[in-house]
Structure 1
Amino acid sequence: MCGFIQRVTDCPAVIDLLEEVGLTTTLPLFKEESGGVLNFYPAFGKNPARKITNLITAPDNVIDATWWFDARPEGDGLVIGDRTTFNARNLDSPFWKHAVRYQRGIVVATAVGESNPQGKGKVHYLMEAQGAMLIGAVYRQFDNGTAACAVITRPPHPRFSQFHEKSIPCFLPHNRDAVNAWLNGGPDDPVVSAILDEPKLYTGLTVSEVKTFKGGEKNGDSCFLAPSGEDIV
């Protein structure tokens, strides 16, 4: 994922989805998000203030985590490492293995941003959910009270690759049992393994080419990317 999450925690679609998957207990824990919509970006420029807020780590816990997994505590803050780690891709690597097995979290989102190369530059796509969506993440917490995280991505998906050729975000099923397994299941939970091994779209996405993710100004028509198992419209 190219470093953009748009979320509205007081949005009816978000509330409905959290109720559907049994996570409404997290809503009172969410920090207030003034303005209703937030744009999240990874900690490029080694800026630890760039965080994903209200990352769900358990049905009774949320954290704010710097969006860059390679980090270390220093004083009451974090120092960002040189390794590019806002996305967790090669999950067989020892770097990710412990977190994927024991420290899985959930990002609640209403849109994501992706990019694909074009000529000497890139084309940017705003992908707005038909409601809301859940995205798998990993996190680590430090003794000074800070935390770091990464969004899990999986190998290229045949329908998603036209918008991002390298990977697809690890979208999570809108299902109570699956969400419970993701947060509480053991390191070899078969439900978790299936989610990681078989990436799918669980909600429709309206895809628009944009000049920038933050502005969201669209460059022409949009298309609809249907959930897995349905035809593309």
Structure 2
Amino acid sequence: MRGTRLTILIVFTLTALSAIALVVFTPLFDEADKTTIPRAVATTPAAENSANADTAHKPTVSPLWDTMQPVAELFEMLTERAFDDQPADLLLLADRTRLSFDEVRGAVPEVTASEIDTLILKIRNSIETDSRPDVAFSAVEGYRRVIEISDASDVSKAISMLDYAGFRIHANLKCDPVRWNDISGAFDFASSQWLEVAPHIQDGELADKFSINLDALGTAIADFNQELAESAVAHELDLVDELESAAGKG
């Protein structure tokens, strides 16, 4: 009887933990393109916790991230070049992404591998139909999926998600008409990620610059000011590169 009660207690505990995990990370669904933006529930960062800050600045041994990083970088390149490169060049880059992913497929859960395969196929189809926004959206979602399954530190992932949000905002600003609803969702997601990252950036000047620019981006979005939003998101992506170095990711 004691063994039965212990089994029930363990099952109940695991079920409760699973429910908590589902609350922590919930998707924001955008009706415009039927893709999801992951929205993390924002928590107030404990800036005074110096132990956490010190840990974040020490590079973490990440064998899976080392394996997956080339794939993430190729998806990132596809996102950046989707609106400007020639179709033939984009097709070559899509093929490089597929080949790079094939090399590490065994390290990826089967469901995720299937999702990534589908996204690469969508990228190729969108290139062939010259649907540039769809190239960018599929590529940035591929980037997100690779980051999510990596074993990089939480801070490194949050910084990468700032990149993800910036790329998504940039792609939405290129659409005609501009997709402000999706932009607003991506901005909210970026804000939640910055709450996670900010306490771990010891360079106060850099942290201030990012915060000021994020505020400027939010104002431009609230005013539906495309020109200012494009300028602010371009600066956000540049600052993310600096954050990667400051947090020991880059």
* Shared fold (TM-score, shorter chain, > 0.5): no
Taking structure 2 as the reference length, the TM-score comes to 0.24
Taking structure 1 as the reference length, the TM-score comes to 0.25
Q: Normalized per residue, which structure has more strand?
A: 1
Q: Normalized per residue, which structure has more helix?
A: 2
Q: If you compute each CA radius of gyration, which structure gives the higher value, 1 or 2?
A: 2
Higher relative contact order, structure no. (Cα contacts within 8 Å, ≥ 6 residues apart): 2
